[in-house]
């Protein structure tokens, strides 16, 4: 019988390598062999605080003369012959082909970095300052930043449109701030480098960051990591403490949605523009579908199961919030009255209390975290998160800067850059220790423990191949429900039909007639 040979990593020192793309594909065994000592390599994600741990203790990254041995195994061939009607199996010796690959030589390197964080504003300030810190650590590496490359040609700032232009022109950057909604499509088509070896080299894991693997999107498929966490987006349940205090009501961790609706009815004053909660965002609907039990329907599947029992129950719940329980205004009413969360028009809402949001609220009212209400039938909770990761593209492989691009991604995700985000930016920091700190969310003002507890039941969307064209098709249909133009049952059937149609077409570019409902 053929025998499965376990892969082993030999040779002691972990190093970065420009040819990781080649090693990421095919059935190969990679062995790291320590060569002659070279100059000190890059600092890891700990930045100046942990450069020794990231580069020194684990071996000089990119040291000149280091050799990487890649062993390719041919499968065991089994010969069979019949001897007196008895089958005898003779294993054939495995033949190994050894290829020697020399790591990148010392000398100047150039990284092409695509991002929409800049060139101006708080995000641009973070990027500029972070790259200045990186330049101090790696003066031999030049980073050419392109802010929103492809925007002019595509006439759009979306990642989808910009990358379509850049890929067609064979002009993608080496490091790219990606968006989840088209990640799985391109990950399945070999656009990104596997960054798993670099997490090991820098002695970090995804647990060091505020990151959720998007139903294993950001490691996708299992066992590989294709993105370094960067731009964090969390959505948690909050309550307007000023409104509830007037009624002597305080949410607790045992609340279900029934309790939420009862409290909303008690405190709202529509005539004074105070409502229980805002109209549902589409993500709230999807989160509820997960909460009820529809997670597997959207877990790297072909389409959201809007027309499934869990989908219909979730959609009907939010339709009832507006038209049966009347604790949320219809979207058109909210627009006409110019209602907003920051203005204090809602008793309960879903958001992240960023510094920018807290500034917008000012002294208008007090608010705080509350535990996500449980679904009454099963006691489950659900809150939302996603992140935009920095991806190392296959173009970095052709230009020989995979290792350097991974190092820059680690730097942008680490404590130094997260500190800059807290000081100059307008999003939460990525580094978990800073995210869970009073500098980010003061614990004497907010129940940050509820925010952190939410990572036990966070769900994300956009985790399948055709999410983007499907969402363009089903969002207008579902929005008709919240506007009172369509029942959820009918909308679910139509959304399901459109999603299945797009899954059959298998394109990111469905024609406009496909995207329009035929109701």
- Using 50, 70 and 90 to split pLDDT, how confident is the model at 370? very high
Q: Does residue 93 share a domain with residue 141?
A: no
Backbone angles phi, psi at 326, to 5 degrees: 55, 45
pLDDT of residue 25: 36
Name the residue range of residue 66's domain.
20-102
Separation of alpha carbons 193 and 23, rounded Å: 10
Separation of alpha carbons 93 and 90, rounded Å: 10
End residue of a domain, out of 411, 429, 455: 455
Q: Is 198 among the domain residues? A: yes
Q: Does residue 403 share a domain with residue 304?
A: no
In this predicted structure, which of 296-310, 351-365, 393-407 has the lowest mean pLDDT? 296-310
Contact 166, 150 (CB under 8 A): yes
Distance from chain centroid for Cα 348: 26
Separation of alpha carbons 12 and 34, rounded Å: 7
End residue of a domain, out of 455, 485, 505: 455
Q: Is 146 helix (H, G, I), strand (E, B) or coil?
A: strand
pLDDT of residue 267: 98
- Using 50, 70 and 90 to split pLDDT, how confident is the model at 213? low
User: What are the angstrom distances between the C-alpha of 149 and each of 85, 243, 391?
Assistant: 70, 46, 15
Rounded average pLDDT over 266-282: 95
pLDDT of residue 294: 63
The pTM score is 0.76
Q: Give the residues across from 81 on adjacent strands.
A: 88
DSSP string, 318-341: HHHHHHTS--S--HHHHHHHT--T
Res 308 pLDDT > 60: yes
For 445, half-sphere exposure in the C-beta direction (CA atoms, 13 angstrom radius) is: 12
pLDDT of residue 465: 82
Distance from chain centroid for Cα 96: 39
Res 7 pLDDT > 80: no
State both tokens at 299: 């877990």
Q: Is 13 among the domain residues? A: no
Q: Is 7 among the domain residues? A: no
Q: Does residue 499 share a domain with residue 406?
A: no
Distance from chain centroid for Cα 3: 38
Q: Is 166 among the domain residues? A: yes
When comparing pLDDT for 402 and 233, which is higher? 402
pLDDT of residue 79: 41
Q: Give the residues across from 146 on adjacent strands.
A: 114
Contacting residues for 26 by C-beta, under 8 A, at least 6 apart: 72
Model pLDDT for residues 425-458, shown as the tens digit of each residue = 889 999 999 999 999 999 999 999 999 999 989 8
Q: Does residue 468 share a domain with residue 378?
A: yes
Q: What is the CATH number of the domain that holds 282?
A: 3.40.190.10
pLDDT of residue 384: 87
- Using 50, 70 and 90 to split pLDDT, how confident is the model at 106? low
- Using 50, 70 and 90 to split pLDDT, how confident is the model at 286? confident
Rounded average pLDDT over 466-483: 91
Instruction: Pick the closest to residue 23 from 103, 95, 94 (CA basis).
Output: 103
pLDDT of residue 436: 96
Burial class (CB in 10 A: 0-12, 13-18, 19+), 193: buried
Q: Does residue 297 share a domain with residue 208?
A: no
Model pLDDT for residues 108-143, shown as the tens digit of each residue = 899 999 999 999 999 999 999 999 999 999 999 999
Q: Does residue 198 share a domain with residue 116?
A: yes
Rounded average pLDDT over 151-165: 89
- Using 50, 70 and 90 to split pLDDT, how confident is the model at 12? very low
State both tokens at 323: 């038209």
pLDDT of residue 212: 61
Q: Does residue 150 share a domain with residue 280?
A: no
In this predicted structure, which of 19-23, 42-46, 69-73, 95-99 has the lowest mean pLDDT? 19-23
Q: Is 307 among the domain residues? A: yes
- Using 50, 70 and 90 to split pLDDT, how confident is the model at 1? very low
Q: Does residue 490 share a domain with residue 343?
A: yes
Rounded average pLDDT over 204-223: 67
Separation of alpha carbons 115 and 417, rounded Å: 15
Q: Does residue 354 share a domain with residue 338?
A: yes
Model pLDDT for residues 54-91, shown as the tens digit of each residue = 333 333 333 333 444 444 444 444 444 433 344 444 44
Q: Does residue 465 share a domain with residue 326?
A: yes
Q: Is 2 among the domain residues? A: no
The number of beta carbons lying within 10 Å of the beta carbon of residue 511 is 9
Q: Does residue 214 share a domain with residue 67?
A: no
Q: Does residue 73 share a domain with residue 133?
A: no
pLDDT of residue 103: 39
Domain count, the chain: 3
Q: Is 6 among the domain residues? A: no
Rounded average pLDDT over 158-165: 89
pLDDT of residue 6: 28
In this predicted structure, which of 15-24, 156-165, 189-198, 409-418 has the lowest mean pLDDT? 15-24
The stretches of 367-515 forming alpha helices (DSSP H) are 394-398, 402-413, 415-424, 432-435, 448-453, 467-482, 488-505, 512-515
Mean of all residue pLDDT scores within the chain: 79
Contact 212, 219 (CB under 8 A): no
């Amino acid at each position: 019988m053929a025998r499965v040979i376990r892969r082993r990593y030999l040779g002691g020192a972990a190093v970065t390598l420009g040819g990781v793309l080649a090693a990421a594909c095919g059935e190969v065994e990679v062995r790291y062999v320590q060569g002659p000592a070279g100059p000190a390599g890059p600092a890891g994600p700990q930045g100046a605080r942990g450069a020794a741990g990231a580069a020194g203790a684990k071996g000089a990254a990119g040291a000149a003369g280091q050799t990487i041995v890649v062993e390719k195994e041919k499968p065991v061939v089994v010969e069979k012959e019949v001897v007196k009607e008895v089958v005898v199996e003779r294993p054939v010796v495995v033949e190994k082909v050894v290829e020697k690959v020399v790591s990148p030589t010392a000398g100047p390197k150039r990284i092409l970095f695509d991002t929409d964080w800049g060139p101006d504003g708080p995000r641009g300030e973070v990027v500029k300052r972070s790259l200045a810190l990186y330049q101090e650590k790696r003066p031999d590496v030049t980073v050419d930043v392109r802010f929103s490359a492809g925007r002019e040609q595509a006439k759009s700032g979306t990642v989808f449109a910009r990358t379509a232009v850049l890929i067609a022109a064979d002009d993608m950057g080496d490091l790219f701030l990606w968006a989840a909604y088209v990640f799985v499509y391109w990950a399945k088509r070999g656009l990104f480098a596997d960054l798993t070896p670099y997490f090991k080299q820098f002695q970090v894991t995804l647990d060091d960051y505020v990151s959720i693997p998007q139903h294993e999107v950001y490691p996708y498929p299992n066992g590989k990591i294709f993105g370094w966490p960067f731009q964090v987006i969390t959505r948690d349940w909050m309550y307007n403490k000023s409104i509830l205090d007037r009624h002597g009501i305080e949410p607790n961790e045992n609340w279900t949605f029934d309790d939420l609706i009862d409290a909303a009815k008690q405190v709202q004053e529509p005539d004074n523009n105070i409502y229980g909660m805002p109209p549902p965002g589409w993500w709230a609907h999807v989160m509820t579908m997960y909460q009820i039990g529809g997670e597997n329907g959207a877990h790297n599947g072909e389409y959201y199961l809007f027309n499934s029992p869990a989908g219909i129950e979730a959609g009907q719940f939010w339709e009832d919030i507006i038209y049966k329980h009347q604790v949320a205004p219809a979207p058109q009413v909210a627009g006409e009255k110019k209602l907003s969360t920051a203005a204090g028009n809602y008793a309960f809402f879903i958001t992240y209390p960023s510094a920018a949001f807290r500034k917008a609220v000012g002294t208008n009212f007090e608010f705080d975290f509350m535990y996500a209400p449980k679904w009454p039938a099963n006691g489950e909770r659900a809150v939302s998160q996603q992140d935009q990761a920095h991806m190392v593209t296959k173009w970095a492989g052709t230009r020989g800067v995979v290792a350097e691009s991974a190092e820059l991604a680690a730097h942008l995700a680490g404590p130094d850059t997260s500190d800059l985000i807290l000081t100059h930016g307008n999003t939460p920091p990525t580094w978990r220790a800073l995210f869970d700190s009073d500098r980010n969310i003061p614990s004497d003002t907010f129940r940050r423990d509820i925010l952190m507890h939410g990572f036990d039941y966070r769900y994300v969307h956009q985790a399948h191949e055709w999410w983007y064209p499907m969402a363009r098709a089903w969002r207008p249909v579902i929005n008709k429900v919240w506007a009172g133009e369509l029942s959820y049952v009918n909308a679910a059937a139509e959304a399901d039909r459109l999603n299945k149609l797009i899954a059959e077409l298998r394109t990111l570019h469905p024609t406009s007639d496909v995207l329009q409902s035929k109701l």
